[in-house]
Amino acid sequence: MIIRSRHLTVPLAVGLWQLAAAAPEIRNEALLVDSPPGYKIGFQAQQQDRSRITEMVPTGETVESWTEMVTVQTFPGLTATPEQFESHLVEDWRGACPKSDYQRIAQGTESGYAFVLWLLSCPLNKVSGKPEITWFKAIRGNDSLYVVQKAFRFAPSKEQIVTWMAFLKDAKVCDTRLPDRPCPDVTPVEH
């Protein structure tokens, strides 16, 4: 599936995620991501019962016209590793923006789950006519592959980079079925 053209157009499936907020208690595996202050949900889509995407933009912006965006996806049943997902996305991104830059930021295990964090940038997105800089964090859960993205259409300040790297570091997976990967005592809202 091709995601709508707000970002560089690259083939991807769409995903499901949960925010820690008031709703039914967490059961089984869940992605825990805070809702960024000052952001609103601008777009959501679900493909059958398999996948979902949620895009959030600053209040006052839209998913058609944005300067910053947070995207959260879940790919239930996808068996790709974070590195395989990263490799596929880097290849597609470079196809859409031949002068793009790629940097792996971190790789390892958090809360018992493998993850990769990387940066892709494009000096000129053909669709928007602006630069695009996006950090991606892919986490391999037992049930799903989770991806959280933070995109800018401008060069972020050092303070913004520090803030958003902390946001991505806090994105974690938990599982109520596994005692060594407990979920916090919060209740998620499905988006």
Please report, for the domain that includes residue 172, its CATH number.
Answer: 3.40.1000.10
pLDDT, one tens digit per residue, over 153-178 is: 999 999 999 999 999 999 999 999 99
Distance separating alpha carbons of residues 42 and 35, to the nearest angstrom = 13
Neighbours of 2 (CB within 10 A): 9
Domain residue limits at 23: 18-190
Indicate the pairing of strand 29-33 with strand 18-20: parallel
> For the residues 47-72, what does the mean pLDDT come to?
92
Assess if residue 101 is contained within a domain.
yes
Is 33 a member of any domain? yes
The residue among 63, 59, 50, 58 whose CA lies nearest residue 3 is 63
Give residue 86's pLDDT: 97
Cα–Cα distances in Å, from 120 out to 56, 129, 187? Answer: 19, 17, 33
Q: Is the pLDDT of residue 26 over 80?
A: no
